[in-house]
Every structure is written in structure tokens, then in C-alpha cells.
Amino acid sequence: MPDEGWPVSAADPITTSVAHREGVAVVSVGGEIDLSTASAFEAAIAGALDNDPPVLVIELSEVSFMASVGLRILAATHEKVSKSAQVAIVANNQATNRPMQLTGLDKVMSTYPTLDDALSAVGTGPSN
């Protein structure tokens, strides 16, 4: 039987989606953010920024693990777009809150416990 390697697509460790709501780009991420999934996370953010939205919300509620590369991507995204767009992060679990607190990213970036809170803070009201 040949070695077929790891079945990346059979059980992807990360899920991403991008939605646009009243000028706000919302990137929702679930699963694990690590070296093997970083490119998918970056691609989702890049796709959300294609139309230069005035607001970017990165929703991490379903993230179960975030390695340092995930923090780097968040910091780089904030640095890249914060002059032209508002950036808000939804982080409401230990897998996302703790690393952001330990590194001080929660002091640099706007974080919210829910997507509705983030959308309200950026002026679009609760999501439907």
C-alpha cells in the first residue's frame, strides 16, 4: 500500500469563511491556527481585503488552538490595514484570549466577546 501522506482535505484542521455586511468584511475562522494552517488564515484575510473594506472583523470564536504564527498574522494585518480600515477581533475563549493577553495584542487591537459586540462597536449594529 503506497504512503499517501496526511489527508489534509479529509479533516481540515481549519475552516475559514468571508462575509460582507454593510461595508464590513467578516473573516470567521474555526479550528487550529498553526504553521500548517497559516496560509489558509492569511488567504482568508487577503480575500476579505480585496475590496478595501472600511472595517475588518476577524471572528475567532471557533478557534481551538492559536500558535504564535496566528498572533503574528493578526499583528501584521493590524499594522497593514489599521491606517485605512478599522480592525476588530472577536476572541472569547482561552485558545485566543490567553495568547493575545500574554503578548499584549489585546492592548493594541480592539477585541470583543461576540460578533454582535464587534459589529455594534464599529457602527453597523447587531448582525442579522
**51, 97, 50: which is closest to 74 by C-alpha?**
97
Rounded CA separation 102/92 (Å): 15
Rounded CA separation 70/113 (Å): 18
DSSP 78-110: HHHHTTTSEEEEE--SHHHHHHHHHHTHHHHSE
Contacts of 99 (CB under 8 A, 6+ apart): 66, 68, 70, 71, 105
In CATH terms, 15-121 corresponds, of 3.40.50.2300, 3.30.750.24, 3.30.450.20, 3.40.190.10, to: 3.30.750.24
Q: What is the pLDDT of residues 36-70, one digit of tens each?
A: 999 999 999 999 999 899 999 999 999 999 999 99
| Residue boundaries of the structural domains of the chain | 15-121
Please, are residues 106 and 92 in contact by the beta-carbon 8 Å criterion? no
- Reading the block at residue 97, the C-alpha cell is 484570549
Report pTM. Answer: 0.86
Q: What is the pLDDT of residues 80-116, one digit of tens each?
A: 998 999 999 999 999 999 999 999 999 999 999 999 9
